[in-house]
């Protein structure tokens, strides 16, 4: 079902907010359509885009790659690696529909699977700044196999996601460039993938690369933004 929605941020000219709670069928096409509608509403042009992926539990890998491709003009999106078949590499291609806007991703501990694939692709390619809290850390792919006899099925883990740098997301997830204290505190004590007794572990030692967008000027800006939130008791800090 369609889950894409958006609006123009009040009191912030030209800033569009896109809500993307999962990667359902046609998610890539619907993101492009929604951005088109927001451009019309803004008078023909947008200044920046905020993609709210908090609570996004994942969905179709192909649709997640399509969304990432819409936001990237070049670079590797992800690699899906399995034991029995050759690895499948998703790469961005330059298209007339590519969005060139400055971009921020909102994440939290509810972000899982293909949602984390998109977050890693945009962050590691220096395309978007990730703001919020660490994601869940589900870097695996499952397949459902129906039994030849009887009304039952088997759910098997069949592959792992690797980010653009080849770093596994399994039991790691994506850490925000700019942590939001209210979101981080709200997740304190909550379980993530790495806390599950049967979780798979990452098979590489590749460290997370710094986001080239996180300049000293942006760091200072984030620090200034935290002060009013702290003074008001943190109200609105996760919005």
Rounded to 5 degrees, what are φ and ψ at 64? -60, -45
Q: Which of 108, 124, 168, 182 is catalytic?
A: 124
Q: Which of 69, 138, 140, 177 is catalytic?
A: 138
Which tokens sit at 221?
């800006």
β-strands 5-8, 15-19: how paired?
antiparallel
Alpha-carbon distance 158 to 143, whole Å?
Answer: 6
The closest of 120, 118, 109, 1 to 55, measured between CA atoms, is 109
Longest dimension (CA), the chain: 63
User: 3-class DSSP state for residue 7?
Assistant: strand
Which tokens sit at 73?
């003009």
* Residue 124 bears catalytic tag: yes
* Residue 113 bears catalytic tag: yes
Q: Which of 76, 113, 140, 177 is catalytic?
A: 113
* Residue 138 bears catalytic tag: yes
* Residues contacting residue 211 through CB under 8 Å, at least 6 positions apart: 123, 124, 126, 129, 130, 177
Alpha-carbon distance 229 to 220, whole Å?
Answer: 15
Q: Are 75 and 164 in contact (CB under 8 A)?
A: yes
Neighbours of 175 (CB within 10 A): 16
Q: Which residues does the annotation mark as catalytic?
A: 113, 124, 138
């Amino acid at each position: 079902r369609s889950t894409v929605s958006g609006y123009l941020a009040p009191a912030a000219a030209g800033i569009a907010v896109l809500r993307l709670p999962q990667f359902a069928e046609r998610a890539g096409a619907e993101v492009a359509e929604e951005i088109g509608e927001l451009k019309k509403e803004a008078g023909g042009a947008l200044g920046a885009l905020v993609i709210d992926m908090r609570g996004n539990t994942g969905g179709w890998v192909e649709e997640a790659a399509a969304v990432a491709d819409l936001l990237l003009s070049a670079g590797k999106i992800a690699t899906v690696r399995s034991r029995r078949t050759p690895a499948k590499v998703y790469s961005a291609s330059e298209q007339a529909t590519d969005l060139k806007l400055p971009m921020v991703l909102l994440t939290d501990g509810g972000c899982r699977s293909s949602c984390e694939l998109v977050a890693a692709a945009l962050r590691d390619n220096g395309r978007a700044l990730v703001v919020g809290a660490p994601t869940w850390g589900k870097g695996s792919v499952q397949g459902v196999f129906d039994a030849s006899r009887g009304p039952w099925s088997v759910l098997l883990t069949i592959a792992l996601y690797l980010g653009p740098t080849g770093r596994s997301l399994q039991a790691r997830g994506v850490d925000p460039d700019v942590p939001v204290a209210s979101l981080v505190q709200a997740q304190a004590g909550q379980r993530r993938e790495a806390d599950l007794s049967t979780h798979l572990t990452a098979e590489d030692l590749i460290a997370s690369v710094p986001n080239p967008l996180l300049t000293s000027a942006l760091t200072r800006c984030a620090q200034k933004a935290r002060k009013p939130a702290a003074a008001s008791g943190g109200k609105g800090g996760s919005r």
